[in-house]
Structure 1
Amino acid sequence: MTDSPVSRFPVPELHDLPDDIRTRILEVQEKSGFVPNVFLALAHRPAEFRAFFAYHDAIMDKSGNLTKAEREMIVVATSAPNQCQYCVVAHGAILRIRAKDPLIADQIATNYRKADITDRQKAMLDFALKVSREAYAVNDDDFAALERHGFDEEDVWDIAAISAFFGLSNRMANVTSMRPNPEFYGMGR
């Protein structure tokens, strides 16, 4: 691993951050044992940091018909074609842990259609990729296909929201040259 910077933009010192952001970062560090670089990179703009993580938490930590592992599948599957190294590696680690499967993230990032997942999950990822690549083409047939796999309208919203949100995240990670922490690579293996 190289000692690449966290971001091409300035990264504030922890002691210089507003209290709420510093507290959030320290809580994440306590839980995971390290500070994921996304927290440090986005701390460059505190108001945007707050908005980003508020929306992240709203779509990724909510209850519903999608499991936490399925939510991470969406992130990995849509981040791969966007060539977002940070999100594929970091969320791949989270997916491996949540799915309790050391192979699943690599399978989904490479070709989810051949991954060891259910037909329901493949339909979910088909839709997520359509939202990511060509949301303008989403139509009633997409909703009907998802309904046949047991997804309701709230599930469809969740799939779309995760795909769309991580489109933003992927683009910002690439623009900032955000690198995944070395710790992510071995997690859940």
Structure 2
Amino acid sequence: MAYIKLPEFEQMSPAIQEKARPILEKTGTLGEIFKLLAVDENIYNATDTMVQNYLIKQTHLPYYIKEAIALLISKENSCKMCVDVHKNIAKMLGLTQEQIDEILQGIDAMHTDEKTKRLLEFCIRASKKDNYKMTQEDIDAIKSYGWSDKEILEAVAITGYFNYINTLSNVFGLGKG
């Protein structure tokens, strides 16, 4: 039960109802995070823009890496709701249950190349409160594995997005019953 009153479909603005309708038709329900964002249309729109451009759209990073970031950062932030949601999204995007389990066991358990592991470690480091201590050497180190500026920027943007959405979920008690 969320710590604030979440709107039901009928209480949402017409613009958000328009976005909610296909979800309701497909799944029969709206998740708590959708309802939380629907409290404020500006916050909903800003968040939806990030989701569309970082996670849904084909970008510089493959979906496997995007979902690995989602799962790792959400786990790091103790956001059970986001971990559960992204397990399902990862499956829809073609990740196997074995891959998802490996990601959730941590980077060392993953059967992926060293380049990907180093990017994921970089993202976890970037998600920390002391990320202001990161330096040119940190960027140069990750670039030495072959990551481009655009890929690194995208990975950090996705990391920041999950810090943001995990914070909303955790602060407002989403997924806790």
Q: TM-score, normalised by structure 2?
A: 0.88
Aligned to 1:146: 142
Structure 1: distance between partners of 2:107 and 2:29: 29
1:20 maps to 2:15: yes
Shift of 1:126: 0.7
CA contact (8 A) 1:96 1:103 kept: no
Q: Which residue of 2 aligns with 1:94?
A: 89
1:184 corresponding residue in structure 2: none
Q: Indicate whether 1:43 and 2:30 are aligned.
A: no
Where do 4+ consecutive residues of structure 1 move more than 4 Å? none
Q: 1:123 to 1:22 in 2, by over 3 A?
A: same
For residue 29 of structure 1, the aligned residue among 21, 24, 28 is 24
Q: Residue 180 and residue 55 in structure 1: after superposition, are their counterparts in 2 closer, same or farther (change >3 A)? A: farther
- C-alpha deviation, 1:137, in angstroms: 2.3
Deviation for aligned residue 1:33: 5.2
In 1: Cα distance, 2:176 partner to 2:164 partner:
17
Structure 2 portions without partners, runs of 5+? none
Q: How many residues align?
A: 176
Q: C-alpha distance in 1, partners of 2:117/2:94?
A: 15
Shift of 1:21: 0.6
After TM superposition, give the deviation of residue 141 of structure 1 in Å. Answer: 2.5
1:171 matches 2:167: yes
SS at match of 1:35: coil
Distance in 1, matches of 2:64 and 2:176, equals 20
CA contact (8 A) 1:96 1:104 kept: no
How far apart in 2 are the matches of 1:100 and 1:136? 33
Tell me how far apart the structure 2 counterparts of residues 13 and 93 of structure 1 sit (CA, whole Å): 23
Match of 1:96, SS state, is helix
Match of 1:187 in 2: none
Partner of 2:74: 79
Residue of structure 2 in register with 1:108 after alignment: 103
Contact 1:93 1:105 in 2 (8 A): no
Please tell me the residue identity of whatever aligns with 1:172. L
- Once the two structures are TM-superposed, the CA of residue 31 in structure 1 deviates from its matched residue by 4.3
Check whether the contact 1:89–1:180 (CA below 8 A) recurs between aligned residues.
no
RMSD: 2.0
Q: Structure 1 length as normaliser, TM-score?
A: 0.83
Identity level (%): 21
Q: 1:108 to 1:180 in 2, by over 3 A?
A: farther
Q: What is the SS of the residue equivalent to 2:93?
A: helix
Task: Confirm or deny: 8 A CA contact 2:67 2:90 kept in the other structure.
Answer: yes
The answer on whether the counterparts of 1:80 and 1:88 sit within 8 Å (CA) in structure 2 is yes
Alignment partners' CA distance in 2, 1:168 and 1:109: 20
Aligned equivalent of 1:135: 131
Q: Which runs of 5+ in 1 are unaligned?
A: 182-189
